[in-house]
Amino acid sequence: MGAELRIIPVTGIGDITPGSDLGVLISAALQAQGVTLANGDILVVTQKIVSKAEGRLVRLEEVTPSAFALTIARETGKDPRHVEVILQETRRLVRMDRGVLICETHHGFVCANAGVDESNLADQHQVSLLPRDPDHSARTLRERLLSLAASAASHRSSEGEPLEELAVIISDTWGRPWRNGQVNMAIGVAGLEPIRDYRGEPDAYGRELRVSAIAVADELAAAAELVMGKSAGVPVALIRGYPYIPTEGGVGPLLRDAASDLFR
């Protein structure tokens, strides 16, 4: 029997500034909604608020574009300072065409503009970068939320089940090869196995599955976006009811290595 999921938008978090304690803000927002974290819950958190909290912001007026950035800017019609920031976040320029830069970041992600983004920023002269280590960001936030939940439980008179099983996914919105439109994808994972590997198991008719390995962290990130939206000011969603496999997690298994990449 399939899982029945509930996806809850976490509202009222407000604007995030460098140094903001996301754990405290998310916990307070959940409390204001009358929601208490439970074992098995998954929090999907947008990259943008993580980057803001970690100070991963660059003011374009402080950027001096290189000669290469100036050349690309002329060809793409982009701000050369923006291009320079993209290049600094890029390990490998995968493709440049029709004003689009497809880059491999230092994390190993392949995405447009190396994840450098100017949306949802109050200062129009700033751009945001991806977190330096999204897995670390996810682990740190998970540990903070667990600690806050334990502290809150110790102050309650009634005894309940301690919160021990919690997962955090840091998400970003990316395009996909061969498909129009963008979807949320996982760029940082803590507390859950990011891939559900069915290989070796029988299908519904008893045949052995040989290639089915489902990117559940990406699926959960995409599902969460349905209640977040891109302009609704909802940067966090709580997913309840998905029976994930608890592990330390990490986004690594989702990244295709060069040896198995047919398009590299």
The DSSP output letter for 35 is: -
For the chain, the straight-line distance linking the first and the last C-alpha, in angstroms and rounded, comes to 39
**149: which residues sit within 8 A by CB, 6+ positions away?**
27, 37, 163, 166
Cβ atoms of 103 and 88 closer than 8 Å: no
Taking Cα atoms as reference points, which of 183, 53, 57, 186 lies closest to residue 118?
57
User: What residue ranges of the chain are covered by domains with CATH 3.90.1660.10?
Assistant: 57-128
| pLDDT at residue number 209 | 75
| pLDDT at residue number 153 | 81
Cβ atoms of 7 and 237 closer than 8 Å: yes
Cα–Cα distance between 65 and 101 in angstroms, integer? 16
Half-sphere exposure of 151 (CA within 13 A, CB side): 9
User: What residue ranges of the chain are covered by domains with CATH 3.30.1330.100?
Assistant: 6-54+131-252
| pLDDT at residue number 1 | 45
| pLDDT at residue number 157 | 56
Taking Cα atoms as reference points, which of 20, 13, 7, 8 lies closest to residue 233?
13
The DSSP output letter for 260 is: G
Cα–Cα distance between 149 and 8 in angstroms, integer? 18
Amino acid letter, residue 140 = T
Q: Is the pTM of this model over 0.85?
A: yes
Q: What six digits make up the tokens of 247?
A: 């592990």
Q: What six digits make up the tokens of 109?
A: 């992600």
Which CATH number is associated with domain 6-54+131-252?
3.30.1330.100
Cα–Cα distance between 70 and 208 in angstroms, integer? 54
| pLDDT at residue number 156 | 67
The DSSP output letter for 79 is: -
Rounded to whole angstroms, what are the CA distances from 31 to 10, 11, 25, 37, 181? 10, 11, 10, 9, 34
Cα–Cα distance between 220 and 214 in angstroms, integer? 11
**256: which residues sit within 8 A by CB, 6+ positions away?**
none
Which CATH number is associated with domain 57-128?
3.90.1660.10
Amino acid letter, residue 58 = V
Which ranges of the chain have pLDDT less than 50?
Answer: 1
